[in-house]
Every structure is written in structure tokens, then in C-alpha cells.
Amino acid sequence: MALEGTAPLMNVAKRPARAKWRRIFRSKTALVGLFLVSFWVVLAVLAPILPLQSPTKPDVMAMANPFPSAAHWLGVDILGRDILARLIFGARTVLLVAPLSVAVAMTVGISMGMVAGYYGGQVDAVISRFSDIILAFPVLVLYVVLIANIGPSVINIVIATTIASAPGIGRITRGLVLGLKQQEYVAAARLRAESTLYIMLVELLPNCRGMLIVDGCLRIGYTIITIGILGFLGLGLPPPNPDWGGMVKESTTVLNVWPFMSVEPSIAIVSLVLGFNLLADGLREAWKP
């Protein structure tokens, strides 16, 4: 009998892993999202080598007429600092803190969800109950209570994000794992004496990847909003670090005379959040089974 599969399967790309990512390029939504996100990422990465003005140095001369000009493309803020530079340097902070927070939260959440979903029973009950309690807390309250009490800093924002989001991520992971652990390949792994940790990390985790990446994108977007809100509440990163939420707060006072000062950082936040949201949406669409 001839061996099966000698004829190449024509319709399937050679490298499915890459094909999965390539599918993003077919989704317009994902592309727009990717563009917005990479726009900011590129600017943030290149910030030190871009011919930007100092994001913290006031330009007293420009304050007489802070509106966008040839010298300051997006104008200067109420302290005479170049808004463009502040936005771009602010992107560095946001693009560091938000993904970092989400990454930590994901690590904790995924671990919780994996353990709860895989072991089930009492372990699941304890973890789920704990998650329920955290989730019953309104998220923003959680942030405010935490940050107001432990003070604003990158670490603390990471901690707060982790506490606030890990249960949600855990719940998603748990749901995925509950389904996946019934899969026969998991049984097969058990039958070849694989350790539980191995099963979780090698057999289960990669198959949660898609959903978790999508969820992660949404969460990064949401965390950016939260960081903005914290900045707006005066609980954001300490100045003079350009903090987008803080920039809006600083300039709401001059909204009616210099609206661009608050509108520009608002647009920056909206565009970046929108980027992540679109990316998540596009990925979900592209990876839909």
C-alpha cells in the first residue's frame, strides 16, 4: 500500500505558525490596529535618536504663543514644553508600563487559571472564590484604593494591574483549560507519564495562546486607559515624566483657550487604545476557528 501523504497538501501553507500570524495581514481591522500600535512603538523606540526637543525643558519664549508652530509642531504645554516630544516620550512610559503590567498580570492569572482548571475540585473552588471576591470589587476602586495607599510608581501600577486583572485572566484561562483538559492529547500525555507541569506548559498553554493574546491586547488597551485615568486623578506616574493622562489633567484648565493641549494627548491615548482594541478584534477575527 502506498504511503499516505506523499502528495503535498497544496492549500495549506508550509509553516502554519507563521501562517497564523500572516493571517493578520488579511484582516483590515488588525492591520489598522497594528499600524497604530507600531506607529507608537516605533516612535517610542526611536525617541532618543529622533530630533526632538526636550520633553521636560520649558521654552519660555514659546509660551507667549503656545499654539502649534514650526518650532513646536504640536505646540507647547502650559509649562512651555514641546508637546510632540512629551507625547513621544510619554509613549515610552505607557508602552513600557502597560504591557509590563499586563504581562505580569497574565503570568499570575494564567497560573491561577491553569491550576484551577486543571486540578478542579477544592483547588478550583478556592481560587475561583478568591477571584470572585476580587472581581466583585469594581476595578477602578481597586486601582484607586491600591494606588492611593501604596503610592504611584511603575511597580505599584504593575502590582495594581496584576491584582485587578489576574482573576479575570485566570477565569478565561480556567475556562479554556476546562475544555482543553478533556482533549485526548492530554490523556495521551498522561499515559506517557508526563508531569502535570509539563502538561500545563507544553500541552495546554500553547493552545490557549490565541485567546490569551487577544485578551492581552484588550487588557493592554484597558490598562492604558487606567494609567491615563490614574494620571488624571493625580495618581499617575510622577512628573516630569510625560504621562498622557497627567498631560490632559494639567491642561484641562486651559481647555477653552488652548484646547489642543488636552486634545492632543487625549487623541494619543485614544489612538493607542484604539490600536490595541482593533488589533485584538482583528486577531480574533483572523484566528477564528
Partner 1 sequence: MTRFLCKRLIMMMVTMLCASFLVFAVCEFSPGSVARKSLGPFATQQQVDLLSKKLRATDPLPVRYSRWLGVLLGLIPDPLQAPDSGLNFNDPRGAQYFGNFGYSTLNKLPVNDVIWNRLKNTAVLAGLAFALIVPLSIIFGILSGLKEGGALDRFLSVICITFTSIPEFASGVFLVTLFVILWPLLPGTSQLDPGSGWSIPSQLVLPVAVLVIYDFGYVARMIRVSMIGVMERPFIRTAVLKGMNTRQVIFGHALRNAMIAPFTVLLLQINFLVSGVVVTELVFAYPGFGRLLLDASLFGDIATLEAATLVTVAIAVTTQLVGDLGYMLLDPRIRVK
Partner 2 sequence: MEEYPHPKIPALVDDFKSEKLGRREFLRFATLLGLSASAAYSIAGIAMPMGAKADDMPKGGNLRIGMRCMEIKDPHLADFAERSNVIRQVCEYLTFTDRNNITHPYLLEKWEASDDLKTWILHVRKDVKWHKGKPLTADDVVWNLKRVCDPAIGSSMLGLFTGYLVEEYDTGEKDSAGNAKKSSRLWSDKAIEKVDDYTVRLNCSSPQIAVPEHLFHYPMFILDPEEKGSFGPGANGTGPFEMTEFTVGKNAKYKARTDYWGTGPYLDTFEFVDLGDNPGAGIAAVASKQVDGLSEADAVQINSMKNFPHVAVYKVETTQTIVARMHPDNDLFKDKRVRQAMRFAIDREKVIQTSLLGAGTPAEDHHVAPSHPEYAALPKYPRDIEKAKKLLADAGFPDGFETDMVTRPDPIWELNTAQVLAEQFKDIGVKVNIKSLPSAQYWEVWTKAPFSLTAWGHRPLAVMTLSLAYRSNAAWNESNYSNPEFDKLLTEAEGILDPKQRSVVMAKIEGIMQDDGPIVQPFWRIFSTVIDKKVKGFELHPSQYIFAHQYAIVQA
Partner 3 sequence: MNMEVRNAQRPASQLDLSNGIPCTAQEPLLQIHDLRIEFRGKDETVVAVPGLSLDVMRGESYGLVGESGCGKSTTAMAILGYLGRTGAVTNGSIRFDGEELVGASPRQLRKVRGRRIAMVYQDPMSALNPVRTIGAQLAEVPRIHLGTGRAQALEMARAMLRDVRLPDAGDMLKRYPHQLSGGQQQRVVIAMALLARPSLLLLDEPTTGLDVTVEAAVLDLIAELRHRYQTSLLFISHNLGLIAESCDRLGIMYSGELVEEGATGEIFRRPRHPYTQGLIACIPDVDSDKHSRSLAAIPGHIPLPQERPQGCLFGPRCDGFVAGSCDRVDLKPDEVEPGHQVKCARWRDFSRREEAAVVVPDGDRDAGDAICLTNVTKLYGTSRGRSLKANEAVTFSVKEAEIVALVGESGCGKSTLARIVTGLDQATSGQIRLADRNIAELQARARPKKLLQSVQMIFQNPDSTLNPSHSAAFSIRRSLIKFGIRKGKAAVDRRVRELLEMVRLNPDLAERKPEQLSGGQKQRIAIARAFAADPSLIVADEPVSALDVSVQAAVVTLLLDIQRANKTTMLFISHDLALVRHVADKVVVMYLGKVMEQGTVAEIFGGAAHPYTQALLSSIRSTDPDRSKAAHIQLRGEMPSPVDVPRGCRFATRCHRKLGICEQEAPPLRRLSSSHEILCHIDPTAGQTVSDGATRSADITREPAND
Binding site for partner 1 (CB under 8 A): 29, 129, 132-133, 135-141, 144-146, 148-151, 221, 225, 228-229, 232-233, 245, 248-249, 252, 255-256, 259, 262-263, 266, 269-271, 273-274, 277-278, 281
Q: Which residues fall within 8 angstroms of residue 213, CB to CB, at 6 or more apart? A: 283
Q: Does 56 bind partner 3 (CB under 8 A)?
A: no
- Cis geometry, peptide bond prior to residue 240 (ω within 30 degrees of 0): yes
Among 67, 209, 255, 259, binds partner 3 (CB under 8 A): 209
Q: Phi and psi at residue 157, in whole multiples of 5°?
A: -65, -40
Determine the Cα–Cα distance for residues 247 and 239; give it in Å rounded to an integer.
10
Q: Does 194 bind partner 3 (CB under 8 A)?
A: yes
Instruction: Give the one entry of partner 3, partner 2, partner 1, none that residue 278 binds, where binding means its C-beta sits below a cut-off of 5 to 8 angstroms depending on kind.
Output: partner 1
Q: Which residues fall within 8 angstroms of residue 158, CB to CB, at 6 or more apart? A: 97, 100, 101, 104
Among 5, 51, 129, 149, binds partner 3 (CB under 8 A): 5
Closest CA to 110 of 187, 162, 179: 162
Among 65, 69, 153, 183, binds partner 3 (CB under 8 A): 183
Q: Which residues fall within 8 angstroms of residue 94, CB to CB, at 6 or more apart? A: 224, 227, 243, 244, 272
Q: Does 154 bind partner 2 (CB under 8 A)?
A: no
Q: Does 257 bind partner 3 (CB under 8 A)?
A: no
Instruction: Give the one entry of partner 2, partner 3, partner 1, none that residue 191 binds, where binding means its C-beta sits below a cut-off of 5 to 8 angstroms depending on kind.
Output: partner 3
Element (H, E) at 122: helix 121-136
Instruction: Give the one entry of partner 1, partner 2, partner 3, none that residue 119 binds, where binding means its C-beta sits below a cut-off of 5 to 8 angstroms depending on kind.
Output: none
Residue 76 β-bridge partners: 82
Decide: helix, strand or coil at residue 76: strand
- Mask of contacts with partner 2, 27-66, x by CB under 8 A? -----------------------------xxx-x--x---
Q: Does 136 bind partner 3 (CB under 8 A)?
A: no
Closest CA to 244 of 260, 258, 228, 230: 228
Q: Does 155 bind partner 2 (CB under 8 A)?
A: no
| Beta carbons of 160 and 146 less than 8 angstroms apart | yes
Instruction: Give the one entry of partner 3, partner 2, partner 1, none that residue 250 binds, where binding means its C-beta sits below a cut-off of 5 to 8 angstroms depending on kind.
Output: partner 2
Cell of 77: 504645554
Grid cell 500572516 in the structure block, residue:
22
Name residue 184's amino acid: E
Instruction: Report the nearest approach of partner 2 to the CB of residue 195 (Å).
Output: 46
Report the C-alpha dihedral over residues 31, 35, 41, 47, rounded to 10 degrees.
Answer: 160
Contacts with partner 2 in 196-235 (CB under 8 A)? Answer: 234-235
Instruction: Report the nearest approach of partner 2 to the CB of residue 56 (Å).
Output: 5
Q: How many residues bind partner 2 (CB under 8 A)?
A: 24
Instruction: Give the one entry of partner 2, partner 3, partner 1, none that residue 225 binds, where binding means its C-beta sits below a cut-off of 5 to 8 angstroms depending on kind.
Output: partner 1
Among 45, 154, 254, 267, binds partner 2 (CB under 8 A): 254
Cell of 170: 485566570
Where along the sequence are the contacts to partner 2 (CB under 8 A)? 56-58, 60, 63, 78-80, 148, 151-152, 234-235, 238-240, 249-250, 252-257
